[in-house]
């Protein structure tokens, strides 16, 4: 009689747990090394094994799922100025449109000898 009992997780699904864990561990390591991600966040690798028995033929369907929970990249911030552009339309600008207009007026005045 063949004794091929399942005794460890690597006996399931053709060793899928081992390869899945290695891939998930690489994801976790890459995520921890990413400077955009929160270094204090907890990461997780979960390996779920599901068993569904079919009493009609004495088999058990085994499904293995590996998931990771990684730190999300932190938000990025930017500052914009709201104002009217040269076209008179309200918009967002990287430079303060009022201040740019003020400096342009000063420069024009100096050119005219004011």
Average pLDDT rounded to a whole number, residues 61-67: 96
Average pLDDT rounded to a whole number, residues 83-109: 73
Residues 82, 99: contact at Cβ < 8 Å?
A: no
**Whole-model pTM above 0.75?**
no
Of 43, 29, 34, nearest to 71 by C-alpha is 43
pLDDT of residue 1: 52
Check pLDDT > 70 for residue 101. Answer: no
20 — phi, psi (to 5°)?
-65, -45
| 3-13 pLDDT per residue, tens | 789 999 999 99
Radius of gyration for the chain, computed over Cα atoms and rounded to the nearest angstrom: 31
Check pLDDT > 60 for residue 114. Answer: no
Q: Higher-confidence residue: 12 or 2?
A: 12
């Amino acid at each position: 009689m063949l004794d091929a009992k399942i005794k460890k997780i690597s006996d399931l699904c053709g060793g899928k747990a081992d390869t899945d864990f290695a891939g998930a561990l690489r994801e976790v390591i890459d995520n921890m090394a990413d400077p955009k991600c929160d270094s204090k966040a907890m990461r997780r690798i979960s390996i779920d094994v599901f068993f569904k028995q079919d009493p009609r033929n004495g088999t058990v369907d085994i499904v293995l799922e590996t998931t990771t929970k990684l730190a999300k990249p932190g938000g990025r911030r930017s500052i914009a100025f709201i104002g009217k552009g040269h076209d008179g339309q309200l918009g967002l600008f990287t430079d303060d449109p009022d201040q740019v207009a003020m400096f342009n007026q000063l420069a024009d005045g100096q050119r005219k000898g004011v």
